[in-house]
Each structure stands twice: as structure tokens, then as C-alpha cells.
Structure 1
């Protein structure tokens, strides 16, 4: 029949165009939102993984070269009997502007990565900002063959992050000038980032010692520098001494300060500007606690004030600082702070071996001399060079004969035990206590290649490092 479809009805139905049912309203928007969230989660995981890898790369600093430990080539730091670097107690505090070089010096390094400790490194100044982290400055290499515009200037800096057990070399200020007028000879760090090299010039780092930049002192010399609580304080002096005696014949001192990360130094205030002893050549000295700073002026006046504020005269000590030692510190009045109110001053007498220690428990208003019996049984003390106080009140005195300790609460000084061959010839030029148990000292003879440390409160000292040619 014309017009009739002879196919099976089922075939006709199957060949019809199929129209899918539409999804419920909002389905496509829901799928889009879920896909977007899934992509964001994957991206976050990828970024976190990349950050973890970057952090691991940042802390994976290679151990460049360990210093050999005296007196034998064993690994690790000799420590006081019955003690270890892990046994430190007390609140760590920065120690040590240290002793100065025998002559103003410039450096061999000016930038960049860590280096091996230079052969023949001779440490002369040391600073610790914690029980583990510290720096030392000194001469390295052989004079006449150093990689500098002046091959006779070989100053280098080394760093430890394990209480002196091992050290690695790093950049030092690249100073200039044939007479060493802007050279540096001491080192002081505030933390692991901000540090200063000084004496007579002034250089700063704000990246942990990777780079150093010179700070303009307007022709003045920096004879002392201390740090605490995001600030640094320094004595800027007018001096006429030359060469190794850069801190000699200083007649005027001004207390200056700056904040961490800042290279603009400003006077603390009018009372501590232009301090003098009537024009006589003398010295001055600084000491800081976490809240209060103290300064013995050339004429023996004691100034103090809050960290970050103006200082005023607080009293007078019973001895004047006198001419500077070769390291820039006073020869007759050495200052140490047990806390913000308890002070000690070691006053050298007119003859070698004569010393009187004065203490004050009222911020320096009244001073009490320790009785002569405090030194009974000690035949010859030598000439005092540096005084330190631990947080618990223990006092440690460095002299040309050795180290002496007055434990907290004790009434009599006693010689510290110096292991090995005993106190080095010439004694020590600097001592500082980081905690109640841990401290550091610098020998007067840098050619010994030694930094000395204690881990039992100053009772026993041992050379922590010996840097020999070939390291």
C-alpha cells in the first residue's frame, strides 16, 4: 500500500532520535564549583611541597672545615672535668667584645659564601650570642701572601654553632688604608643576624656576617662596643695614638647608640657627650644588662640609664680608668654587671699584683671594697686585664698570670684550674661569661691559636680550639 512503512514497529521505535533527559537545575554549576575546589587543593599541596624542599635547601649548609682541637687531633671540644657543653645553666647573654689585634687590620674576604678556616688563624677577639653560636676575629694566613690589596693584612672571621667544637671561615670587613686607620680588631654580635667589627674603625653586618659595610665615624675611633635588646652602644673617641696603640692618648669620649639593622649612630644624650678628664689621656668602659647600661667615664664618674633612653651620672667609682691597655680597655678600672643593680669594679693598684675589687648593690651609688683577705693564699695575681660576671653573681678576673674566680656567695677568690700546660705565658686579655656555667677567654698570645672555654662556672678552663697551619 502506497505510503505504508513495511518495517517492524520495534525497528521504527529504535531508529527514532533519542533526546536525553535534562539534568536537575544547578547540576552544571555544582560540578564547576567542585572542579575548581579540587584544582585549588592540588595547587596548595604542590606549593607546600615546593616550600618544604626550599626550606630544606636553605638549612642544608655544608660543614666546610672543622678546627682541630688542642692538644691532640681528636674530635670535639675539651671541657671542664665533669661537665659538657650540654650542661649549661642560666639565661644565655651575649659575651665578649674581646681583645684587640696587636695592630689595626684589614681583611681578606669581602663577600659571599663560607670558606675553610684559614691556615695559621690566630684568634684575638671572640663573641657568643648563645651557648652554641659565636664568632672570632683574628689574623690568618702568612703575612705578605694574603689575598688583599695589602698582602700583609690577613684578618679573618670564623664562626661556630656548636659551642666551639667546630668552626668555619666566613667573610670579614674588607677595609683599606696603608696605616690601618679604618681597620678592625674586635668583634661583637647582637644576635645571629646583626654584628659589628670595630677598633679603631667600625663595620657592620646585618645578614649574619655574609656581607660587611663600613660605618662612618667622622674620624673618631671606636674603643668599646656592647649590645643588648635590639640595640648596640659604642664609645666614639678622639685619640692621637698610632699603629697598635690606636686607643692610646684618647682625650674625649661620646656614648653613641644604634638599633638593630640600622647604621645611623646617634649620641645617647648630652650628659654622656664629650666625656673627659680635663684633657688628660685616659680611657673609658661600657657594660650592659637587659634593662640598664653603665659607663665609667675618664674621670671616674659612673653614668647609667635605661636601654634606649638618656643616661645620667649615678655615682663615682673609687678608681679612674687610667690609660688604655693595648686592647683599648682601661688599665685600672674594669667593670662587670651581675644585674641591673649589682656592680663590680676591679681596680688595679700602683704595683703589679695589687688589685681591689669594689662592689655595689645600689646601682653604683655606694661602693664597698672587698677585704684584703679575699685574696689570701694567692701570691701574685698579676695585672688585671678583664672582669666578667655570670648571671648568678660569680665573678671571673683575667690577668697577666691567669684566671681567678669568686663563686657566687663566696668570700675568697681562688685560681681557676687551667688544663693542659697551665695558664699560657702572658695570661689572658679577655674573659666573658655567657651563662652561669659557660664562659670564654682569649689568651694574650694569639700565636697559640687558642680560644679557652669553661663549662663549670669558671672553675676549670681548657683550650677549645687550636688552629694550625694546613687547616
Structure 2
């Protein structure tokens, strides 16, 4: 039976606690980063010129056996981290690996002591699923238990400051050597950082709240936005140090908010139906937005840092929905490369435009696994520069794909220790 739910926030594989490189000790002490400053951003650890602190890089161990990728974050074409699951004895464990040579070799790092689970935030009950009461992170795979401490994504702002998040939020300020669990009012559905400022969307009841912190601190503070409360189907991207949030407002209209680290936010209408699932991606000050609901998909792009969005027609055959026989229907993903170029991933296909969305040729991925019941589906697409990008495939098999030519060709990332 097909399962499709609004507010899909994260997808991963069921896992349990772990060892070094396969989970780590849970740290509950908070680093408040200079709480005497009158400036909220200074209290949260923000520095006007945010450079990586000159600390020794965290040494790593061998990649654990059976590592499976779930989420990726990259600083540059050569340096990226991958969150996933791996074998630890007779069970699976949350694992984190890092490369500094473009994926030719990886080293395992300590991971937060949190299960990696097939999870989603459910704003309301799902028929026949008593575990999906309102406002919970639930396991949508049909096996396993409801949990509010699962994690599903990783982000690093620089070599030492990063986060693993989902039902819970963990932070590191020593390159992944240790992780601190931070108190948040609900599941974190998206976290991005730029120029010393981190932004997070957090589910609070039936809606979402935007939070802000400096990348070197853990003092996350809510950022009020006009027209609230914001609907749960929201997404976030960062342009330099400014957050761009696309969400429904209290009047049921979809709007794009530009939120600077200091100063008043600005809002503009965006052509995205109320309640639709949104995925937003930025490349510099160029953004692409995809929205999908039961009526179909919509596309829009911005070439001015999110101040305005222009609708992009969706050609026939692009952004195809999952068949009704699929066990799970994931929302489409978009990865911005420029104002003219982007990737789109939907059920059974990955397409690319270089002409502003006029055409979307189908990309061929070597060895792509797709079945009639479970076509290939995706949970992330993004670029780190004009040439190197990543796509995370979730179904029917979990694969990390990498391109070094702007998305023309792709190869699977193999996780090995040199």
C-alpha cells in the first residue's frame, strides 16, 4: 500500500546506539558561548568574521562495515561528511564519515548517540496508525517504535562546527569529536548555515518556527516572522548569511521570507499552493523552489536572493508522481546550480535544466536501481560550487551520487578507508 504524508521531514534507516564511528556518548552539558553579551547573536556564538577556528582536525578511524548513506553536507569539492548507518555486531548503528580528498577515502568519526530512523513529522493522525497522534516524529516504515530522539540529517558550517538533526538536535564544535544534545521545542526539519549564522526550522505544534544561532554557540532563539503562525510544509535555504523561508502564513497564502541575521524580515508572495510540500535550494543568490500536492507540481526560481520568485512552467513528463503501488511516496527534490541550471528529482527520474527550465533532459545514472513497485526516489540534491554536486537516493536502495561536471554525469560514492 502506498503511504504519502504531508510534512515529510526526514527519511533514513532504522538504527540504534553506537560505538566510535558508529554512535557516541550523549553529552547534555550546554555551551552558551558568552551569555553576558547584550547582542542575541553574540550570545549565540556569532562572530562578525566567521573563520574556522585553528583547532586540530579530528582524527578518524576506518569506515564501519556495511555503511549506508542517508545525508551529506559539503564545505568544498574535496571535503564532505556523510551521515548513515552501519553494522555494529548484530545491529545497525548511526554512523558518520568524512572525506578530505573528494571521496577517494573516508574516515569514521564519532556520531551522536541517537537512532537513525525512517521518520517523518506528522501534523495530524494517519488513518489506521494510532502512533501518529498530532505533533510527533513517527516511524513510517511500519516496524520500530515512535521516537522523538531520532536523527536524519547532517550539516557542517566549517571544519569544526556542525549539527546532526531530526527528532533531536546535536551540535559539535570540535569537528565531530564530541556531540552535545540541545533542547529544542520540537523536531528540526531543516538546518542551514552561512557566514557564521545558523538557521533552523523547528516543528512547534501544527506549524513551524524559525530559529537562529551563531555557528560557534548553542543559544538557539526564535525569530518572529510576520503573518504567523507558519504552516508545517515549509522549507529553508541560506543566501550568504540571510535565511529564505517559504511557508504558508496565517491567512493561508504562501510567502517567501528574507530574514537577515539582524534587522526586519521582508515577505513576498510566491506561486505555491497552500499546504503543498516545498523544497528550496540555493546557489549563491539564485534559488529554485519546487512545490507538490495532490494537484501536481509547481516550480519557481529567484535570481535576486529570494526577494521575488518567478513561476517556471513544468513540462509534461517532468516531476512525475510515484505510482500508487509504491510503498512510500517522497516529495520531489531540487538542487540549484545557477539561475539557469538546476536538478530535479522525482519518482523514477533525475532531470537537469541549463536553460532556465525550458527543457529538462533525463539524466542517466550508471547502475541506477529502480523497480516497478519502487521507482528511484530521492531525499536531497545540491551543489557545492559550479561543478561538484550530490544526490542522495533513498528508494529502493540508498546511494550517494556525485558529479564533478555540473550534473552531466554521475558516479556512486564508494565508502572505503585508504
Question: When the two structures are superposed, what TM-score results if normalisation uses the length of structure 2?
Answer: 0.71
Query: Greater CA radius of gyration, 1 or 2?
Result: 1
User: How far does the alpha carbon of each residue in 1:53-96 deviate from its partner, in whole angstroms, 9 at most, with x for none?
Assistant: xxxxxxxxxxxxxxxxxxxxxxxxxxxxxxxxxxxxxxxxxxxx
Q: Within 2, Cα distance between the matches of 1:364 and 1:392?
A: 12
Q: Tell me which of 308, 312, 316 is aligned to 2:269.
A: 316
Give the deviation of 1:385 after TM superposition.
2.1
Hey, what does 1:292 align to over in structure 2?
Answer: 242
Q: Within 1, Cα distance between the matches of 2:17 and 2:274?
A: 29
User: How far does the alpha carbon of each residue in 1:26-49 deviate from its partner, in whole angstroms, 9 at most, with x for none?
Assistant: xxxxxxxxxxxxxxxxxxxxxxxx
Matched, 1:155 2:108: no
SS of the aligned residue for 1:166 comes to coil
User: How far does the alpha carbon of each residue in 1:261-298 deviate from its partner, in whole angstroms, 9 at most, with x for none?
Assistant: 20111123x22696334xxxx32110111143210123
Matched, 1:166 2:132: no
SS of the aligned residue for 1:444 comes to strand
Q: Within 2, Cα distance between the matches of 1:205 and 1:379?
A: 37
Matched, 1:429 2:379: yes
Is 1:427–1:443's contact at 8 Å kept on the other side of the alignment?
yes
Is 1:122–1:446's contact at 8 Å kept on the other side of the alignment?
no
SS of the aligned residue for 1:185 comes to strand
Cα 1:379–1:289 change in 2 (3 A) is closer
Please list every run of at least 4 consecutive aligned residues from structure 1 whose deviation after the TM superposition is greater than 6 angstroms. none
User: How far does the alpha carbon of each residue in 1:300-319 deviate from its partner, in whole angstroms, 9 at most, with x for none?
Assistant: 2221122x224524212222
Cα 1:172–1:273 change in 2 (3 A) is farther
Cα 1:376–1:176 change in 2 (3 A) is closer
Hey, what does 1:126 align to over in structure 2?
Answer: 72
Q: Within 1, Cα distance between the matches of 2:349 and 2:76?
A: 25
Is 1:158–1:170's contact at 8 Å kept on the other side of the alignment?
yes
Is 2:302–2:309's contact at 8 Å kept on the other side of the alignment?
yes
Cα 1:105–1:184 change in 2 (3 A) is farther
Cα 1:451–1:99 change in 2 (3 A) is farther
**Deviates further, 331-340 or 358-367:** 358-367
SS of the aligned residue for 2:294 comes to coil
Is 2:105–2:415's contact at 8 Å kept on the other side of the alignment?
no
What is the count of residue pairs matched by the alignment? 333
Is 1:440–1:452's contact at 8 Å kept on the other side of the alignment?
yes
Q: Within 2, Cα distance between the matches of 1:126 and 1:416?
A: 21
Q: Within 2, Cα distance between the matches of 1:266 and 1:235?
A: 11
Hey, what does 2:294 align to over in structure 1?
Answer: 350
Q: Within 1, Cα distance between the matches of 2:269 and 2:147?
A: 35
Hey, what does 1:438 align to over in structure 2?
Answer: 388
Is 2:69–2:83's contact at 8 Å kept on the other side of the alignment?
yes
User: How far does the alpha carbon of each residue in 1:295-349 deviate from its partner, in whole angstroms, 9 at most, with x for none?
Assistant: 012342221122x224524212222473xxxxxxxx6322223443x43322225
Give the deviation of 1:118 after TM superposition.
1.3
Flag the structure with higher helix content.
1
Hey, what does 2:62 align to over in structure 1?
Answer: 116
Q: Tell me which of 287, 303, 317 is aligned to 2:257.
A: 303
Q: Within 2, Cα distance between the matches of 1:254 and 1:137?
A: 25
Counterparts in 2 of 1:277-288, with a 5 A limit?
277=231, 282-288=232-238
User: How far does the alpha carbon of each residue in 1:376-421 deviate from its partner, in whole angstroms, 9 at most, with x for none?
Assistant: 5769475752111114641111212121111155621111221234
Q: Within 1, Cα distance between the matches of 2:405 and 2:318?
A: 21
Matched, 1:230 2:196: yes
SS of the aligned residue for 1:417 comes to coil
Is 1:105–1:185's contact at 8 Å kept on the other side of the alignment?
no
Hey, what does 2:225 align to over in structure 1?
Answer: 271
Is 2:312–2:357's contact at 8 Å kept on the other side of the alignment?
no
Is 1:420–1:462's contact at 8 Å kept on the other side of the alignment?
no
Is 1:224–1:286's contact at 8 Å kept on the other side of the alignment?
yes
Counterparts in 2 of 1:21-32, with a 5 A limit?
none
Q: Within 2, Cα distance between the matches of 1:167 and 1:105?
A: 22
Give the deviation of 1:234 after TM superposition.
0.4
Flag the structure with higher strand content.
2
